[in-house]
Amino acid sequence: DVQLVESGGGLVQPGGSLRLSCAASGFTFSDYYIHWVRQVPGKGLLWVARISDDGIVTTYADSVRGRFTVSRDRAKNTAYLQMTSLRAEDTATYYCVRLAAGGNYDYWGQGAQVTVSP
């Protein structure tokens, strides 16, 4: 079965850093783009970043560009979201998501909670 398991969430002070991990299993990791999507408490879903199957192409939402970095490790079947200069408005549940061949999302991780607060 396809599984995406996030880890690394937690409480961090404004200006701090955090790295989320997304461990993949049940499919050929190197064949798929991985996206990160966040949900602010009580709000909707927002696309954050993506990384290509080969790890060469990365794209970011305007709100996180320059502060967040997405990467992946083929040997570990894991994608990462490095978050720096965190702000209160980055508080959210962060999901890693697999991009299906047609361009839609198919599988989501269970989410990692990130809270930015003094």
Partner 1 sequence: DIVMTQSPDSLAVSLGERATINCRSNQSVLYSANNKNYLAWFQHKPGQPPKLLLYWASTRESGVPDRFSGSGSGADFTLTINSLQAEDVAVYYCQQYYKSWTFGQGTKVEIK
Query: Is there a contact between 94 and 112 (Cβ–Cβ < 8 Å)?
Result: yes
> Is 45 among the residues that bind partner 1 (CB under 8 A)?
yes
Instruction: Count CA atoms within 13 Å of residue 29 on its CB side.
Output: 19
φ/ψ (deg, to 5) at 83: -115, 125
Q: What share of the chain is helix, strand, coil (3-state, %, to 5)?
A: 5, 55, 40
**Smallest distance, Å, CB 22 to partner 1?**
12
Of 18-26, 38-46, 71-79, 83-91, the window that binds partner 1 (rule: CB under 8 A) is 38-46
**Smallest distance, Å, CB 13 to partner 1?**
27
Site size toward partner 1 (CB under 8 A) is: 18
> Is 36 among the residues that bind partner 1 (CB under 8 A)?
no
Question: Which residue from 44, 56, 75, 118 is in contact with partner 1, where contact means CB under 8 A?
Answer: 44
Q: How many beta carbons lie within 10 A of that of residue 41, not counting itself?
A: 9
- Work out the end-to-end distance of the chain between its first and last CA atoms, rounded to an integer number of angstroms: 40
Of 19-27, 66-74, 79-87, 100-108, the window that binds partner 1 (rule: CB under 8 A) is 100-108
Footprint on this chain of partner 1 (rule: CB under 8 A): 35, 37, 44-47, 95, 100, 102-111
